Amino acid sequence: MAVARKIFYKYAKCLGLIVLTTFFAQLFISISFFPSVHDNLLKRQGYTSLLRNELDDVSARKQGPSVEDDEDLSSRNRNKAIPQLRLEELDFEPICEIRNREAISAIHRAKSQICKQEIINKTCLIQNGQFYPNQLPNYCTSNEKIYGHHLGCYLDEKKLRLLTSFYGNYANTNSPKFCLDICVQAGFPYAGVQYASECFCGDNRPPASAKTSDGSCDMKCPGDSSQLCGGYFTMNIYETGLDKFIPQMPKNPGNEVSKVQIVFLLTLNGRALRQVHRLINALYRTNHYFYIHVDKRQDYLHRKLLKLEKEFPNIKLATKRYSTIWGGASLLRMLLTSMKDISQLGWKWDYVINLSESDFPIKSLEELEIFLSVNKGFNFVKSHGREAQRFIKKQGLDKTFIECETHMWRVGERKLPQGIIVDGGSDWVALSPEFVSYITGKYDELLTGLDVIFKHTLLPAESYFHTVLRNSHFCNTYVDNNLHVTNWKRKLGCKCQYKHVVDWCGCSPNDFKTEDWPRIQNTQSRQLFFARKFEPIINQEIITRVEQYIGYTDHYLINNLDAYWQNLYDIDDLTAPTDDTILTHAGSVVRLNAKVLSEEGCHIQISEIIEVNIYKYADVYKGNLILHKAIINDKEVFLETWYKPKQHLDLNFENRNVDFIKKFKVNSEYDQKEMTFRNLGNILGPLSEPVLLYQFTANVDKYTRNFTTIWLDPSGMVADVNIIQKDENNLTNFIKPNIKQPLLPGIWRVGLFDQTNLIAKTKFLITPLEFFSGKELTHQEASLIHSGSQNSYKNLTYIKPTHFLPDEEEGNLLAKISNANIKRINNDLLEWIDSLNLEFYNVLGSCILHSDSDIDEHVSCGNYKFQQCLVSDWSSYSPDPKGSIGKIDKKSGRLKRI
Ligand SMILES: *[C@@H]1O[C@H](CO)[C@@H](O)[C@H](O)[C@H]1NC(C)=O
Ligand SMILES: *[C@@H]1O[C@H](CO)[C@@H](O)[C@H](O)[C@H]1NC(C)=O
Ligand SMILES: *[C@@H]1O[C@H](CO)[C@@H](O)[C@H](O)[C@H]1NC(C)=O
Ligand SMILES: *[C@@H]1O[C@H](CO)[C@@H](O)[C@H](O)[C@H]1NC(C)=O
Ligand SMILES: CC(=O)N[C@H]1CO[C@H](CO)[C@@H](O)[C@@H]1O
């Protein structure tokens, strides 16, 4: 995700206006509900009203059409002429004329010719009706009911409707077939048309007493004038060919417990290695299996986890790795390939359960085993619990998406095939081997058709498994519970944060924090076994609590229980560009450390940076740790150096109470959902995207309405000015300045002003780069990367503040120095880098990893004594039993902490 986030900031700027189209969405979705119908729908699916909030939580997380980009707005505006495809941008001849606005937009936005061509080729097939199946078989049809069988004309009552599960009004398109298709898609056994334009669906056969003469249904259908569509409170009712759908109710375990073997399919991303270890520690038993897919781009995690394969016969890493994107079609490819692989490993198992690095069990594994052992053969999925048409729209299932250039391009509307039920919900599942063998085996007509559809579907894993289940022989194994509880906080999680990778607005659940503990406790009596999301870099305390809750009794024995380390850089990483900044920075900190040591008479020669880790204790950031080689007394050793960024908030101004300013800080990688910076070490380079975060308390000055911020670059030029409107409801907020990359290296200053009065100021460092793509910077590269983007600064008008801005003389001097800095390379460059880092970071200490005198606790160097890292609490080499894989305990089959 970290990578994705970086890309996000880069692309966010290129994208156009965000336009709220709720209004348009409502115009076009001509479906309305009787509240009672909706309630009935919920009851039908076995939900009590108590469960409703929970349910909304699950289903409403996709904001779907409520926020879309401007391209989309115009696509809905049918009066406007369709734009022409700009052929001059293509190096090939399109195989047909593209007439679809969304496709044209996607073709223009796609970067590579191959991607443009793929979009064009597929759009042409879709335009010609050659791409998608029109009809698919449903192998779950009823033995008694027949699709389209007319039951007759029935008298309806306003207060007591005959069919209560769905109602829609279609003034132009309604007909028995039209309505039947809707009711089939939603999975109902009965469809009824009334008053020409109305379509109803229901679960229960209308009472014979309501039947009336056929002549009472006498209105022509707007969509087919040869057919009749009921009349005034009379309804033509048809069978859809489906039976009433009743999800299976899982049994509660009694005494008849049998053995159950589970495959945990871990699909992993990121660098939270120790948390993955912790998860495996919690779930490991010798009789279960782990199949681990690590995203193709995450070579650090993959490298580290590969070791487990050698140690444990029941842990296997996927060899075919995918780089999946949020909501991308490749996600389903990855899952199906993994499942196929699992079924060919010769493992004996009863369930495959899908988990990620941010899942954690909230019941003991024994409870899960007992529960599953009495429910073998069922398939656990979670349905959206809404009206099907609405779900389809919100989820974008009625649109074609094409994945290329790690982006999901939306290329237009599509019609879902007739004959099948469309279902979906959460993409966390527990599946039986029979079902997995069906979906990974030889494709029948249903699977072949769904394959085409789901290769072009946003968030495919959220509806593929549901839809296959409902339409296959497995329909009677469907349990509407995926054993998971998810921490949705839609206000925070739905910020359209995936716009850079999908042409849609998606939401993400929040991390559990200590204060969310009651939510987890509330699941105790329910059939819920896992929760998400957990991220120790955000909050580890909750994970420790959960562990204790599910039966870890030895917490008081565990070393460093409250500590957390997460890798930021590893010498074997294959991802160069982002590392230039970290490497430059780490190199400089290590040199600073060497200077400090030399004052103690300890002269060390430093070399290679091996690793950089983030260190937190009790959920407080404590600094970064740099593991590096060094030569001490002619011997090569490994040192780990601990350092921390300094704080730079200045609020001391004459006769002005500015207590209301709680935060005023610049950093990068701001996470809107968790409201925190992910770049804990505050490491910014010329290509970073700075964000200003401010927080005011409620007693912010009464009379001030606007504040101004001014961004001053290292040469003393004003790079951007922002206005902060005071908003009592929104006292914490962030500002992304409008400054182009590369940023001028050096010390930037940001001032906060009330009128012309400076009330707060802060500074941040854009570190010059020692490396470019891993190699030392050349003159030419320096003049590109270190010369800033002053040409693109806007001509800004603002009230000139007193103080803060340099006067003319200072300005000239700063500009001169800055100009000279651009030319610096080699040692001259290092000197500059080091002088800057000295101002922004404090070195806190160093420990030694390897030494000949390993019996000694200390290694002396001049007056300095290096402690062994193993016994330095803060070191990433100090013991971390919770975050390291344990050893198998023969008796229990569990992993014992070491
Ligand atoms: C698109 O279709 C053309 C003509 O059939 C074909 O030559 C080309 O390889 C196709 N390209 C892609 C990316 O599918
Ligand atoms: C605050 O800013 C808005 C728009 O930028 C402006 O219309 C308004 O007059 C300003 N108010 C004050 C008190 O400066
Ligand atoms: C605060 O402001 C941000 C950005 O303008 C906005 O996205 C967010 O919804 C606001 N929050 C509240 C609670 O008004
Ligand atoms: C910037 O604006 C000022 C005042 O509006 C004007 O005098 C000046 O010429 C402008 N400079 C540029 C480079 O546009
Ligand atoms: C069906 C399935 O396996 N779904 C999910 C498994 O876990 C990942 C997260 O790592 C989800 O994104 C999948 O959709």
Q: Domain check: are 412 and 539 in the same one?
A: yes
Question: Counting ligands in written order, which one lies closest to the CA of residue 790?
Answer: 4
pLDDT digits (tens, 9 = 90+) for 84-110: 899 999 999 999 999 899 999 999 999
Angle between helix axes 176-186 and 388-395 (nearest 10 degrees) is 70
Lowest-pLDDT choice from 105-119, 482-496, 848-862: 848-862
Cβ-based burial of 88 (10 A; exposed 0-12, middle 13-18, buried ≥19): exposed
Mean pLDDT of 474-498: 90
For the segment 453-473, the average pLDDT, to the nearest whole number, is: 96
Q: Is 757 in the pocket of ligand 3 (CB under 6 A)?
A: no
Structural domain contains residue 673: yes
Amino acid present at 503: D
CB 248 less than 6 A from any atom of ligand 3: no
Atom of ligand 2 nearest to the CA of 704: 13
Secondary structure (H, E, C), 287-334: CCEEEEEECCCCHHHHHHHHHHHHHCCCEEECCCCCCCCCCCHHHHHH
530 occurs within a structural domain: yes
Say if residue 404 is in the same domain as residue 348.
yes
Count of the separate structural domains present in the chain: 4
Which of 781, 797, 820 terminates a domain? The answer is 820
CA 177 to chain CA centroid, nearest Å? 40
Helices 464-471 and 445-454, interaxial angle, to 10°? Answer: 160
> What percentage of the chain has pLDDT greater than the value 70?
89
What is the band of 824 on the pLDDT scale with cuts at 50, 70, 90?
A: very high
Task: Decide if 584 is inside a domain.
Answer: no
* Angle at the Cα of 98 from the Cα atoms of 96 and 101, rounded to 5 degrees: 170
Residue 132 domain flag: no
Site to substitute for ligand 3 among 691, 725, 733, most atoms within 8 A of C-beta: 733
Burial 365-404 (b: 16+ CB within 10 A, else e): bebbbbbbbbbeebbbbbbbbbbbbbbbbbbbbebbbbbb
Q: Whose CA is nearest to atom 14 of ligand 2?
A: 706
Does residue 433 lie in a domain region?
yes
Q: Which of 90, 95, 107 to mutate to test the pocket of ligand 1 (most atoms within 8 A of CB)?
A: 95
| Assigned domain for 843 exists | no
What pLDDT score does 548 carry? 95
Q: Is residue 144 part of a domain?
A: no
| Amino acid present at 2 | A
The answer, yes or no, to whether any atom of ligand 2 lies below 6 A from the CB of 799, is no
In this predicted structure, what is the pLDDT of residue 42? 31
* CB-count burial class (<10 Å; 0-12, 13-18, 19+) for 35: exposed
Domain boundary among 771, 798, 820: 820
Whether residue 351 is found in the same domain as residue 284: yes
> Which residue's CA lies nearest to atom 1 of ligand 1?
121
628 contacts 606 by C-beta, under 8 angstroms? yes
pLDDT digits (tens, 9 = 90+) for 355-411: 999 999 999 999 999 999 999 999 999 999 888 999 999 999 999 999 999 999 999
Q: Cis bond leading into 247, ω under 30°?
A: no
Q: What's the longest Cα–Cα distance across the chain?
A: 107
Write down the pLDDT at residue 152.
97
pLDDT (average), residues 223-250: 96
What pLDDT does 15 receive? 32
* Same-domain pairing of 112 and 196: no
Residues in Cβ contact with 31 at an 8 Å cutoff, skipping those fewer than 6 apart: 168, 169, 387, 389, 390
pLDDT higher than 90, residue 181 = yes
109/178 same-domain check: no
Q: Are residues 207 and 348 in the same domain?
A: no
123 lines ligand 1 (CB under 6 A): no
- For ligand 2, atom 8: residue with the closest CA: 706
723 Cβ inside 6 Å of ligand 2: yes
Rounded to the nearest whole angstrom, what is the distance from the C-alpha of residue 693 to the centroid of ligand 3? 13
| CA 691 / ligand 4 centre spacing (Å) | 27
| 452 shares a domain with 491 | yes
Atom of ligand 1 nearest to the CA of 115: 13
Percentage of residues in the chain having pLDDT higher than 90? 75
pLDDT score recorded for residue 578: 63
pLDDT band at 723 (very low <50, low <70, confident <90, very high): very high
Please tell me the predicted confidence (pLDDT) of residue 539. 98
Write down the pLDDT at residue 857: 66
pLDDT at 851: 56
The count of other CB atoms within 10 Å of the CB of residue 802 is 10
CA atoms within 13 A on the CB side of 90: 18
Mean pLDDT across 512-529: 95
Assigned domain for 40 exists: no
Q: What is 53-82 written as a DSSP string?
A: HHHHHHHTT--GGGEEEHHHHHHH-TTSPP
Which residue range forms the structural domain that includes residue 454?
262-549
> Model pTM greater than 0.85?
yes
Q: Say if ligand 5 is within 6 A of residue 512 CB.
A: no
Task: Kindly state whether residues 106 and 165 are assigned to the same domain.
Answer: no
**Gap between the Cα atoms of 408 and 326, Å rounded:** 9
Last residue of one domain, picked from the residues 204, 239, 274? 239
CA of 795 to the centre of ligand 4 (A): 6
Q: At what angle do helices 113-127 and 101-109 cross, to 10 degrees?
A: 170
* C-alpha span between 418 and 138 (Å, rounded): 10
Please name the helix (run of DSSP H) or strand (run of DSSP E) that holds residue 563, with its range, or none: strand 563-570
Please give the distance, rounded to the nearest whole angstrom, from the Cα atom of residue 432 to the centre of ligand 2: 62
Residues 665 and 520 in one domain: no
- For residues 284 and 192, membership in a common domain is answered with no
Residue 384: C-alpha distances to residues 81, 240, 355, 427 (Å): 37, 22, 20, 11
Q: Which ligand is nearest to the CA of 404?
A: 1
Taking the C-alpha atoms of residue 164 and residue 158, their distance in angstroms, rounded to an integer, is 11
Residue 387: C-alpha distances to residues 26, 168, 345, 392, 483 (Å): 15, 11, 40, 9, 22
For ligand 3, atom 8, name the residue with the nearest CA: 730
Atom of ligand 1 nearest to the CA of 114: 13
CA-based angle 255:257:263, to the nearest 5? 155
**Looking at residue 738, which CATH number applies to its domain?**
2.60.40.1930
Pair (101, 230) in one structural domain: no
- Is the domain of 368 the same as that of 467? yes
